[in-house]
């Protein structure tokens, strides 16, 4: 099939068969990106729950029998930094957005991308004030949407805002692969990946398929969140991804009227965990209504209130991340 014309916009459809590709479907209806997720099913269709489960088991067995995949860099991307939490609801996506913006604010010569790897609950489009479908290049690669100088890609650009994603793990892994490999990222110094909660398929797919320069674990100080944060850090160690450090989020609440400080989620829990794991604390982020309001409005605090204490906390964390990253490989590897 011939490549799409320049400026073509696309939406997403999924076809369950043995081919793995992205293409534009023509006709009178709007163009569709057809992402074929590679499930080896006879006849190309899943006809029953039983056959679907059997196909997934067979596919998983094939993957495990091949051992770990060989890591392949993302074309044009020098270094990948992943933000993970273990537990949901601890402010990871908010931190990922503001850290990506802080990387550029600290050094405007750097090119930064942001990948929303949370297939089930993408939030980057709203936080980065982006809507619409990605365009396709003549090579059938999706162009990231861009705002505030950050190139962004998310499942949220490819489905309706209110549409749920009801998929098994292998479908999610294949979708993540498409978001990594079938996107024209251009030339990036850093690609920040906002990971979903947990230590499952997406985390393994990302860490085993691409070279990750470092992982950052974010958590609130409460004990329940710390349990999962520790699991996240240990998972990255098991797959040989360097853990750059921990971020203590929602560390303290200051009353806007009397200025009294309250540790709503506990004090220094993340710092204690860092000591136990032998890791660094990259910084503390306060619990502040402005951080929530600015992300909800699509104007993250680093952009909209750069002189605020919250913005300064993100700027410091971004500086600490860069300081701990290894020297990137020669650029020719990524050309």
pLDDT digits (tens, 9 = 90+) for 81-102: 999 887 777 888 999 999 999 9
Q: What's the token pair of residue 282?
A: 């990259």
Contact 67, 43 (CB under 8 A): no
**Model confidence at 145: pLDDT above 90:** yes
CB atoms within 10 A of CB 159: 18
Contact 43, 55 (CB under 8 A): no
- Best CATH choice for the domain 77-324 from the list 3.10.180.10, 3.40.50.970, 3.40.50.300, 1.10.760.10: 3.40.50.300
Amino acid 108: pLDDT:
96
Amino acid 119: pLDDT:
82
Q: pLDDT class for 8, splitting at 50, 70, 90?
A: low
Out of 20-34, 207-221, 241-255, pick the least confident: 20-34
**Model confidence at 237: pLDDT above 80:** yes
Please state the separation of Cα 276 from the chain's center in Å. Answer: 27
Amino acid 312: pLDDT:
94
**Model confidence at 331: pLDDT above 60:** no
The dihedral formed by the CA atoms of 53, 56, 58 and 63, expressed in degrees to the nearest 10 = -160
Amino acid 252: pLDDT:
67
d(CA 40, CA 18): 5
pTM: 0.76
Mean pLDDT in residue range 218-247 = 88
**Among residues of the chain, what percentage have pLDDT more than 90?**
37
The dihedral formed by the CA atoms of 143, 145, 150 and 152, expressed in degrees to the nearest 10 = -80
Contact 123, 156 (CB under 8 A): yes
Q: What's the token pair of residue 296?
A: 């909800």
More confident residue, 107 or 202: 107
Structure letter (DSSP) for residue 200: S
More confident residue, 315 or 227: 315
The partner residues of 130 in beta bridges, in order of sequence, read: none
Q: Which of 268, 248, 265 is nearest to 316 (CA)?
A: 248
Spans of all domains in the chain: 77-324
Q: What's the token pair of residue 307?
A: 């002189």
Per-residue pLDDT of 277-311, as tens digits, reads: 899 999 998 888 888 889 889 999 999 999 998 99
DSSP-H helix ranges across the chain: 49-66, 92-106, 124-127, 169-181, 201-209, 223-238, 269-277, 289-296, 301-304, 309-324
More confident residue, 201 or 217: 217
**Model confidence at 41: pLDDT above 60:** no
């Amino acid at each position: 099939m011939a490549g799409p014309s320049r400026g073509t916009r696309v939406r997403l459809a999924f076809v369950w068969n043995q081919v793995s590709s992205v293409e534009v479907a023509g006709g009178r209806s709007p163009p569709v990106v057809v992402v074929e997720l590679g499930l080896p099913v006879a006849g190309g269709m899943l006809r029953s729950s039983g056959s679907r489960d059997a196909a997934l088991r067979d596919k998983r067995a094939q993957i495990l029998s091949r051992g770990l995949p060989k890591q392949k860099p993302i074309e044009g991307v020098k270094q990948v930094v992943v933000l993970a939490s273990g537990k949901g609801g601890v402010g990871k996506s908010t931190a990922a957005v503001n850290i990506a913006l802080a990387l550029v604010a600290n050094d405007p010569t750097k090119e930064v991308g942001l990948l929303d790897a949370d297939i089930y609950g993408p939030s980057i489009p709203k936080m980065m004030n982006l809507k619409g479908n990605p365009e396709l290049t003549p090579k059938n690669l999706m162009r990231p949407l861009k705002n505030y100088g950050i190139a962004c890609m998310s499942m949220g650009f490819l489905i309706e805002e209110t549409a749920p994603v009801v998929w098994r793990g292998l479908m999610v892994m294949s979708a993540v692969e498409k978001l990594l490999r079938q996107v024209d990222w251009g030339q990036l110094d850093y690609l920040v990946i906002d990971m979903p909660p947990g230590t499952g398929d997406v985390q393994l797919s990302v860490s085993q398929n691409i070279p990750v320069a470092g992982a950052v674990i974010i958590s609130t100080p409460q004990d329940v969140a710390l349990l999962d944060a520790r699991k996240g850090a240990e998972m990255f160690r098991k797959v040989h991804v360097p853990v750059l450090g921990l971020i203590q989020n929602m560390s303290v609440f200051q009353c806007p009227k009397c200025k009294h400080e309250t540790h709503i989620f506990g004090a220094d829990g993340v710092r204690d965990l860092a000591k136990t794991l032998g890791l660094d604390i990259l910084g503390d982020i306060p619990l502040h209504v402005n951080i929530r309001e600015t992300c909800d409005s699509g104007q993250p605090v680093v952009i909209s209130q750069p002189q605020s204490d919250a913005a300064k906390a993100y700027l410091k964390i971004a500086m600490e991340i860069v300081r701990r990253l290894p020297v990137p490989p020669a650029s020719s590897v990524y050309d």
